Amino acid sequence: MSRKLPAAVRHITKISDLSPVEMRGILQTAKHMKINPQQYAAALQQKTLLMLFEKPSLRTRVSFETGMTQLGGHAIFYSIADSPLGKKETMSDTAKVLERFVDVVMARVNKRQDIRELAALSHIPIINGLDDFAHPCQILADFLTVGEKKGFDNIDKLRITYTGDIRNNVTYDIMRAGVMLGATVSIAGPKGAEYEVEQEVLDECAALAKAYGGALEVHNDASKAAKNSDVIYTDSWMSYHIPKELMEQRVAHLKPFQVNAELMRHAKPSAIFMNCLPAMRGMEQTAEVIDGPQSVVFDQAENRLHAQKALLVWLTEKCAL
């Protein structure tokens, strides 16, 4: 084999694959990159990122592709929607082929098992662009935004509330990252197996909170969860994998957890509103909230670019690619 592979490789399958120190370091790099992009114009020169998409995404594709260009590298888009990983050939064969062509792989897939298997077999970094268990790239962008708005040194003093569909990859990684960074994370959603957080995630977050000093609260009342919060966060009630025929039922169960002006009044007057987008006005939040003065959703969307650039540089340096 002509290519030399890294002796040690790091994968980002969920946000807790990073330590709090590593997370803060990446956020500081992202902050610096955002202000001084020209200093990183050749940081990934001659490096190639492969982007595997089983699930579609505007922000993920555009931010990663733009980011690689701005860093002097190249990104390749490849759809696996009609040819899922492990079907035409074994996952092992795919991993061995890819590591001879590219430097990093980002995969946006349906199932956590695919990310885990690809990472276990790969000798180059694998980044989870989204699966049904985690969304680490989004969460790095989220905490870059929180740091910008509330102060990076104040994150451990914040109360961060997520309300709505809490059986959700974004919720899970907000929970993980928040408690790792010392914040209080408060979540609220309906009762019922189809809406409640998986026990595996609750157990992991309890261990992370014990190790790093954060706290997790689980509520079935949105107003209690939002009380005195610094950040109010929500996400779509109808993710890609949810059948459309379930919409009416889900709206009925989730409507009490909608972020509206009344709910925002339970938070601090200085609270910010976040949604990782796409958003449906009148569903998970009202138009007056997402289009109002407390909303930071477009800063949050832009920060996907800066956070992912910092992550890519960190991974290539960590793995000596």
Give DSSP secondary structure letters for 233-288: EE--SS-TTS-GGGHHHHHHHHGGG-B-HHHHTTS-TT-EEEE-S---BTTTB-HH
Q: Note whether 109 and 130 are within 8 A (CB).
A: yes
Residue 112: both structure tokens together = 């956590």
Spatial separation of the C-alpha atoms in residues 171 and 265, rounded to whole Å: 22
The strand order across the sheet containing 126-130 reads 74-79, 48-53, 104-108, 126-130
Residue carrying structure tokens 């959603």: 189
Distance (Å) of CA 8 to CA 137, 313, 319? 22, 16, 6
Q: What is the largest CA-CA distance in the chain?
A: 62
Asked if the peptide bond before residue 278 counts as cis, ω within 30 degrees of 0, the response is yes
Residue carrying structure tokens 């976040």: 274
Candidates 307, 315, 310; CA nearest to 124 is 315
Candidates 3, 2, 29, 14; CA nearest to 318 is 29
| 11 φ, ψ (degrees, to nearest 5) | -120, 150
Q: Note whether 131 and 169 are within 8 A (CB).
A: yes
Q: Return the active site residues.
A: 108, 135, 138, 235, 276, 304
